């Protein structure tokens, strides 16, 4: 916390896009002041500054770091900017909250680790799907031993994004927002955006991925210029360091209703299958709670008993992504002010980011098994 006025002074980069969605979370935290906003969208920036209550506006990230008196930054810019901006902020001793994934290459991951190790600032990655109620509940049930030993999991992120190419946006009269997704998310074979699916699973397993193998389903879609997207569905098999297995499926081009939060978990004493669409059940079988081996129960019946109190906080209501944005920001401020370690600090962020990057090497090598570096050894 800054001694000048007992507030945590925050700068938000990419404020006119995803950055804006932290408004409700910032509003719910009286000690947080959005001091500066940064975005290259000069048309939208003044209104965004108003909305977030920021007194300073910048179009250049380095200039914001140079001129503004900040305690920390939220980096909510397009994916290829996460690492360079995080490193620049860490080099100035600022606390960093980075959007997902942490970086777009293994080398960038190494550079973040190097910068964080020599910085006084805390690095945290905002993998908000780990704060989704049902995912937290499963984590608590695993911790309490109700799954026995968890050994298999699945995560899927099925999010058709073809609309975000420059020509399609122009045809719809829309500004070129999110065009970066055409290259960085749906233009590269392999798992380019895997942390939402893998993040909660790593927490359930309390483990990291040691090896990855990845295959794709081929190319069945082209953009407005006739260029194929990356392979439609990619599946990465993650062999965990302690022996478990996870299957991560990502698909950003297939035509179908969105399904961003499909998860499954199997343990020696329990099994979980999330709802695959609106109106479906989040079903769980636990040896300790269910009458027979073929009887499911509704996960939400266990909420009262197992969901941590802070997850029920009224302040989270209304914050983005079902309250997740609130919980992760609370954790960031707590970590920056030394009250606790972030659950997705430097190495956990690398554990969630590196398998997807390594999967791009695997798919290029016809699915060969590739080891995933452990950033703790860097």
Ligand X SMILES: NC(=O)c1ccc[n+]([C@@H]2O[C@H](COP(=O)([O-])OP(=O)(O)OC[C@H]3O[C@@H](n4cnc5c(N)ncnc54)[C@H](O)[C@@H]3O)[C@@H](O)[C@H]2O)c1
Interacting residues toward ligand X by CB under 6 A: 13-14, 16-18, 38-41, 61, 76-79, 81, 99-100, 128, 177-178, 321
Residues 6+ apart with CB under 8 A from 173: none
Least separation, in Å, of the C-beta of 135 and ligand X? 13
Least separation, in Å, of the C-beta of 267 and ligand X? 27
Least separation, in Å, of the C-beta of 175 and ligand X? 9
Q: What is the spatial distance between Cα 272 and Cα 260, in angstroms, rounded to a whole number?
A: 17
Which is nearer to ligand X, 349 or 370 (by Cβ)? Answer: 349
Which is nearer to ligand X, 99 or 154 (by Cβ)? Answer: 99
The answer to whether 193 touches 157, Cβ cutoff 8 Å, is: yes
Joined tokens for residue 34: 């959005």
Which is nearer to ligand X, 100 or 115 (by Cβ)? Answer: 100
190: left (phi over 0), alpha (psi -120 to 50) or beta: left
| Selection from 7, 199, 183, 171 nearest residue 100 by Cα | 199
Which is nearer to ligand X, 128 or 203 (by Cβ)? Answer: 128
Give SS3 for 137: helix
Q: What is the spatial distance between Cα 181 and Cα 189, in angstroms, rounded to a whole number?
A: 13
| Selection from 54, 63, 59 nearest residue 92 by Cα | 63
Least separation, in Å, of the C-beta of 132 and ligand X? 10
Least separation, in Å, of the C-beta of 296 and ligand X? 29
Least separation, in Å, of the C-beta of 40 and ligand X? 4
Which is nearer to ligand X, 187 or 367 (by Cβ)? Answer: 187
Q: What is the spatial distance between Cα 19 and Cα 11, in angstroms, rounded to a whole number?
A: 10
Between the two ends of the chain, the Cα-to-Cα distance in Å is 30
Which is nearer to ligand X, 91 or 178 (by Cβ)? Answer: 178
Which is nearer to ligand X, 24 or 79 (by Cβ)? Answer: 79
Least separation, in Å, of the C-beta of 272 and ligand X? 22
Give SS3 for 68: coil
Q: What is the spatial distance between Cα 299 and Cα 139, in angstroms, rounded to a whole number?
A: 12
Which is nearer to ligand X, 15 or 271 (by Cβ)? Answer: 15
Least separation, in Å, of the C-beta of 188 and ligand X? 14
Residue number with the smallest Cβ distance to ligand X: 17
The answer to whether 306 touches 138, Cβ cutoff 8 Å, is: no
The CB density around residue 241, as the number of other CB atoms within 10 Å, is: 14
Least separation, in Å, of the C-beta of 343 and ligand X? 15
| Selection from 130, 120, 50 nearest residue 323 by Cα | 130
Which is nearer to ligand X, 49 or 76 (by Cβ)? Answer: 76
Strands 209-216 and 150-158: unpaired
């Amino acid at each position: 916390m800054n001694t000048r006025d007992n507030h945590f002074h925050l700068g938000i980069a990419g404020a006119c896009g995803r950055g804006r969605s932290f408004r409700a979370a910032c509003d719910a935290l009286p000690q947080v002041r959005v001091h500066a906003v940064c975005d290259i969208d000069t048309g939208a920036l003044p209104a965004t500054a108003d909305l977030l209550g920021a007194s300073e506006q910048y179009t250049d990230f380095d200039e914001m770091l140079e001129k503004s008196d900040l305690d920390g930054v939220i980096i909510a810019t397009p994916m290829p900017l996460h690492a360079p901006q995080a490193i620049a902020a860490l080099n100035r001793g600022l606390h960093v909250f980075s959007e997902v994934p942490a970086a777009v290459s293994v080398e960038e991951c190494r550079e973040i680790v190097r910068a964080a190790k020599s910085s006084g600032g805390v690095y945290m990655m905002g993998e908000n799907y780990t704060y989704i109620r049902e995912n937290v509940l499963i984590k608590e049930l695993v911790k309490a031993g109700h799954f026995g030993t968890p050994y298999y999991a699945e995560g899927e992120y099925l999010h058709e994004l073809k609309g975000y190419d420059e020509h399609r946006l122009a045809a719809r009269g829309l500004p070129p927002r999110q065009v970066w997704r055409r290259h960085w998310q749906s233009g590269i074979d392999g798992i380019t955006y895997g942390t939402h699916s893998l993040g909660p699973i790593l927490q359930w397993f309390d483990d990291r991925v040691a090896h990855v193998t990845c295959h794709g389903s081929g190319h069945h879609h082209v953009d407005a210029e006739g260029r194929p997207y990356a392979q439609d569905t990619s599946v990465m098999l993650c062999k965990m360091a302690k022996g478990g297995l996870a299957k991560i499926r990502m698909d950003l081009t297939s035509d179908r209703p969105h399904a961003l939060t499909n998860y499954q978990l199997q343990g020696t004493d329990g099994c979980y299958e999330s709802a695959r669409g609106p109106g479906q059940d989040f079903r769980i079988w636990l040896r300790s709670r269910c009458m027979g081996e073929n009887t499911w129960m509704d996960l939400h019946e266990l909420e009262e008993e197992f969901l941590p109190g802070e997850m029920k906080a009224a302040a989270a209501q209304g914050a983005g992504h079902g309250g997740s944005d609130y919980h992760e920001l609370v954790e960031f401020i707590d970590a920056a002010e030394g009250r606790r370690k972030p659950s997705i600090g430097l190495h956990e962020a690398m554990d969630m980011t590196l398998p997807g990057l390594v999967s791009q090497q695997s798919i290029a090598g016809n699915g060969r098994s590739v080891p995933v570096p452990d950033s703790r050894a860097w």
